[in-house]
Amino acid sequence: MPSRKLSGKPEELAAFIDKFDIFLFDCDGVLWQGKALLPRTVETLAHLRNLGKHLLFVTNNSTKSRATYQKTLQDFGIPCDVNEIFCSAYSSAIYISRVLQLPRDKKVYVIGESGIEEELAAEGITYIGDDGGDITPEDYDSFGPDEDVGVVLCGLDRAISYRKLARAYQYLRNPETVFLATNIDSTFPTHGKLFPGAGAISAPLICMTGRTPVSLGKPSQAMMDAIEGVLKFDKKRACMVGDRLDTDIRFGIEGGLGGTLAVLTGVSTEEEILEEGAAAVPDVYLDRLCDILG
């Protein structure tokens, strides 16, 4: 069934909204781009809350923790509870502690930012990183496999370096060391353009090792497991709202949600939504989230 653009008719928009009790919102490219809110985001979310709808924020961006996202949302004028927020740093920490059950004497080598470190710490997981400085002659001698490193976890790292990758590669030469990615989005939408995404950070490690990481962000249902570990909801009365077909919309479809809504303010384009063989086909789409206000 091809996707269709929701019309601006108030009755059609109201009928669409009435089909759901809960909306799962992707963040980058839906609510904001970088530090800039997209038009009427606050008004749109307030409108849905006033209609009694529950809102969840479900982001693949691992640079911030849930707590930091809560402050970000509140600073944007979007009141929320931390238990309404799910990020790939959180789904990764939950996976490592409760699914993988990494022994407490093992540690995680992190390529990424503070969001990952904070969520690992919250789950009591020991981690190490790398300051990202220039690789030194001593490094060439000292870097090597380390049996205490049970996991290499890679996410968006805007200070990536040769040294960080070199260290991760040495750890991953041990086949016992688990290779995880918070998410593998190829690009990151910000400032109206696309920049390297988390997938571009883990790609060199895939190239070097020939290993593919288990990704814990959308479309992986590890993110849905993390959500359902916090709250149960009627999936058939839930709608996923996203800007990326291969993450958000696929996540909603494969998660068995009642509906999917794509918006064109992030990564995916109208052409990609309508083309044969689209990565995933949203039920409906809009130019901007706020167009749901009519």
Tokens of 147: 């049996």
Amino acid at 199: G
Structural contact between residues 34 and 192, judged by C-beta atoms closer than 8 angstroms = no
The Cα–Cα gap between 293 and 287 comes to: 12
Is 243 a known ligand-binding residue? yes
Residue 218, annotated as binding a ligand? yes
CB of 175 to ligand DEZ, least distance (A): 27
> Counting contacts by CB under 6 A, is residue 27 touching ligand DEZ?
yes
For position 115 contacting Mg ion by CB under 5 A, the verdict is no
Confirm or reject binding of residue 113 to ligand DEZ (CB under 6 A).
no
Given ligand DEZ, Mg ion, none, residue 257, with its beta carbon under 5 to 8 Å by kind, binds none
Return the range that interacts with ligand DEZ (CB under 6 A); candidates 57-65, 208-216, 222-230, 273-281. 57-65
Site string for Mg ion, 218-257 (x = CB under 5 A): -------------------------x--------------
Q: Which of 3, 29, 45, 112 touches ligand DEZ (CB under 6 A)?
A: 29
Q: Is 28 a catalytic residue?
A: yes
Tell me if 290 sits within 8 A of 43, measured CB to CB: yes
* Sole residue written with tokens 């789904």: 91
Q: How far apart are CA 249 and CA 241, in angstroms?
A: 7
What six digits make up the tokens of 43?
A: 């008004």
Identify the residue among 119, 130, 185, 246 touching ligand DEZ (CB under 6 A).
185
Count the residues of the shown chain that bind Mg ion, applying the rule CB under 5 A: 5
Q: Tell me how far apart the alpha carbons of residues 149 and 110 are, in angstroms, rounded to a whole number.
A: 10
- The residues with which 152 forms a beta bridge, in sequence order, are 109, 179
Would you count residue 85 as binding ligand DEZ (CB under 6 A)? no
Distance CA 95, CA 225 (A): 9
Q: Is position 185 an interface residue for Mg ion (rule: CB under 5 A)?
A: no
Q: Quick one: tokens of 176? A: 């016992």
Name the phi and psi angles at 51, rounded to 5: -85, 0
Residues of this chain that interact with ligand DEZ (CB under 6 A) are: 26-29, 59-61, 156, 183, 185, 188, 197-198
Residues of this chain that interact with Mg ion (CB under 5 A) are: 26, 28-29, 243, 266
Catalytic residues: 26, 28
